[in-house]
Amino acid sequence: MEKDFNKWNTLKKEIEKTGTSLIIKEKEIWWTNVGLNIWTESCWKWKGFRRPILVLKKLSHENYIAIPLSTKIKTWTWFENYSIDWIQYTALLYQIKMINIKRFYVKESKMNTEKFITIKKRLKQLLNL
């Protein structure tokens, strides 16, 4: 797949200019403008360079720790599969990242507490914390 970095850079400049008054909470799943990344890093999935993410932790009103999600089911120690509203997701634990509030686009749903705790435990094991 040919990546259009120029198109992403144009959109990124527009995102940078926007203001936001969103309220974002842990356990929520949001579509975000993650853009284009290099090689095997998770990047956009849908029009507008968007991908769903799971909000793991709020760092400040503007910054959050998030885990990118995929609808391709994967199995290995750095993935965690689950379903919500009949949609299968895989949390890409090894792709954990800090994300700014300006990248958030639209809230999709909220993960149940039990699965959220499981994901946090799996992430802790993966990072050897």
Kind and range of the H or E run holding 29: strand 28-33
3, 36 Cβ separation under 8 angstroms: yes
Cα within 13 Å of Cα(52), Cβ side: 20
Say what percent of the chain tops pLDDT 70.
83
Question: What pLDDT band is residue 38 in, cutting at 50, 70 and 90?
Answer: low
Q: What is the mean pLDDT of the chain?
A: 82
Please name the CATH architecture into which domain 5-9+23-127 falls. Roll (2.30)
pLDDT digits (tens, 9 = 90+) for 41-58: 454 455 667 889 999 999
Cβ(90)–Cβ(73) under 8 Å?
yes
Residue 40 tokens, joined? 């095997």
Most confident of 42-56, 75-89, 110-124: 110-124
- In the chain, what are the domain boundaries? 5-9+23-127
Please give the model's pTM, rounded to 2 decimal places. Answer: 0.81
CB 56 within 8 A of CB 66: yes
Q: What is the mean pLDDT of residues 112-121?
A: 92
Mean pLDDT of 98-111: 90
Beta strands, E only, 60-113: 63-70, 79-84, 87-92, 97-100, 104-110
Residue 121: pLDDT band (50, 70, 90) is very high
